[in-house]
Amino acid sequence: MLWRRFSGEPLREPVKKAVEETIIRETNAGYKLKVCIGTDSQVRGEDTEFATVIVFLREKRGGFMFISNDKTTQPYSIKERMLVEVARSIEIAYELCDLFNKYDVDMEVHADINTNPQFKSNEALREAMGYILGMGYAFKAKPDAFASSCCADKMVN
């Protein structure tokens, strides 16, 4: 996965190294950090574009994020697409979780899945929640899943 900052500037080092440097820099500056990881997708014709974000929240001091986009022509049902979004978020959470433990940074995985049964995405809620909680991660769904439903949503071109 290729990662960039919100400004569009690409990360010049692997994402794990960039995240560790960010945690060190921010905690040395006196900030208490929390990280939220989420993915959203958009279907346009034959293409499905995914955006995964790592959102760094500074307690009472705003935040910033790293972004990765990816496109595929593989067709998905709505439930499959929701679970692929969750899998992408878990993949990056798993890659980074030892850093969050090492530096005592709280982390949540956000799923762009509606808790209201009237929405089609709700079909994937139970499986996504089991997947995320089964990995030992904190879980948020809509309307509390801002990393996926707001941040990643804005990054899907």
Place of tokens 């593989």: 74
pLDDT digit string, tens, across residues 86-125: 999 999 999 999 999 999 999 999 998 888 888 877 888 8
Of 121 and 150, more confident: 150
Supply the pTM of this predicted model.
Answer: 0.92
Provide the percentage of residues in the chain whose pLDDT is more than 70. Answer: 99
With contact defined as beta carbons under 8 Å apart, do 154 and 52 qualify?
no
pLDDT digit string, tens, across residues 12-63: 999 999 999 999 999 999 999 999 999 999 999 999 999 999 999 999 899 9
Give all domains of the chain, ordered by start, each with its CATH number: 4-155 (3.30.420)
Detail the DSSP E strand segments found in the chain: 4-5, 33-44, 47-58, 63-72, 106-114, 138-142
With contact defined as beta carbons under 8 Å apart, do 64 and 35 qualify?
no
Place of tokens 């978020």: 89
pLDDT higher than threshold 70 for residue 157: no
Report how far residue 89's alpha carbon sits from residue 152's, in angstroms, rounded to the nearest whole number. Answer: 11
* Residues 6 or more apart in contact with residue 155 via CB below 8 angstroms: 40, 51, 53, 67, 69
In the prediction, which pLDDT does 1 show? 83
In the prediction, which pLDDT does 114 show? 84
pLDDT digit string, tens, across residues 59-77: 989 999 999 999 999 999 9
Strand order through the sheet with 33-44 = 4-5, 63-72, 47-58, 33-44, 106-114, 138-142
